[in-house]
Amino acid sequence: MVITKRRVIRWVLTAAAAVVLVTQTGAASAAAQAGSSISRVVVLGDSFSDNGNLYALTGNPGPPYWQGRISNGPVWAEYLAQRLEVPLSDFAWAGATTGVGNIVDGGTVDELGAFGLPGMTMAFQNAFGADPIDPNALYVLWGGSNDLRSATDPAEVTVAIGKAVANLVTMVVTLQGLGATQILVLNIQDFSKAPAFLHEDPQVLFFLTQVTLAFNQALKANLPPGVHYFDTLSRFSDFIADPEDYGLSNVTDQLILTPGADPNKYFFWDGVHPTTAAHALIADALYQSLAPTVIIGGIDSGVPNLLLSSGSTMSDLIALAAIDAENHGQFVSSVATITDDLMKNGLISGSQKGAIQSCAAQAIIP
């Protein structure tokens, strides 16, 4: 099948509209203060989150991959738990689909592979059986990429998105039913910007981007209320667009293929996976997103960082404003608009609005 831009645009609009799993109406007030009383970080995901589960069972991947991570050091989940000073329970498996199987041994979203390696749903079922869950833990889900990687026909991708979103939403709803109060779901990044795909035909790159956007749109639209939705796509795109702002200098090459290079300057470890330096950046972004109070450029406003009905925290809105701003004045203006809206909706007081705006004015952003 020939992939054309017009065909992709038509398909994306259809795909996003077709995946309707949960009906959400109204604009609820803020559900809770973000990051309050986190006792543990619990992770379900794939190779971007696996801290050695696949390696412990199979011995792969070996060196130069670091201690079974699909990177050259610890992954974001380890850094985040360290920052929060809480234990980590990592149930992520490299190669996991959102469903039953794992692509490492030929599994699919619907079926196990040759060795029974788990997908996210199977790992979820194994992790949360009859035992009560910790209601104060932070439950993080990040997956979906492996469900989409082999689907190149628009009809196939529509089905893949539907299954992936259904699986993730089912896990989220189940966690809520078990008593989880803090659930964080990450969307997926744009793989067209990864070294493995940089030299593909422009139409293929466009297709990859549109698949990402369609998946993320469907995921956000169908998450139930009270779930924190984190925009990984925007954060990754910003790291890659402005690497010098984050201490990086290379966002196009694979560190694994560049012996002797400074590992702290590279974003990509291999064709698609981040270096441990990039994982630390992801963890920092998540930490700020989860912080109990709104912190801008290291300055703490003291204002509670509320989780809004949109699925974003107040800090998320401000972080995205920083990404979009061309200069400091534009950033301060955007924060003023955000805080005006929050106050009009009764979510913050006038003094809290002033505190946030003061922090924005003092912060060296962008």
Task: State the amino acid at position 297 in one-letter form.
Answer: G
Nearest to 216 by CA among 16, 5, 43, 45: 16
Q: Looking at the chain, which runs of residues are DSSP E strands? A: 32-33, 41-45, 88-90, 138-142, 182-186, 228-230, 250-254, 266-268, 293-296, 299-304, 306-307
The DSSP code for 223 is: S
Mean pLDDT per 10-residue run, the chain (366 residues)? 34 37 34 71 98 97 97 98 97 98 97 97 90 92 95 90 98 96 97 96 94 98 97 97 96 97 98 98 97 95 96 97 95 97 97 97 92
Structure tokens at 292: 């109990």
Other Cβ atoms within 10 Å of 4 Cβ, number: 12
pTM: 0.90
Ranges in the chain annotated CATH 3.40.50.1110: 30-290
Burial class of residue 141 in the structure, from the number of CB atoms within 10 Å of its CB (0-12 exposed, 13-18 middle, 19+ buried): buried
**Predicted local distance difference test score (pLDDT) of residue 92:** 98
**Predicted local distance difference test score (pLDDT) of residue 130:** 63
State the Cα–Cα distance between residues 294 and 55, nearest whole angstrom.
38
Q: Which CATH class is domain 30-290?
A: alpha beta
**Predicted local distance difference test score (pLDDT) of residue 34:** 60
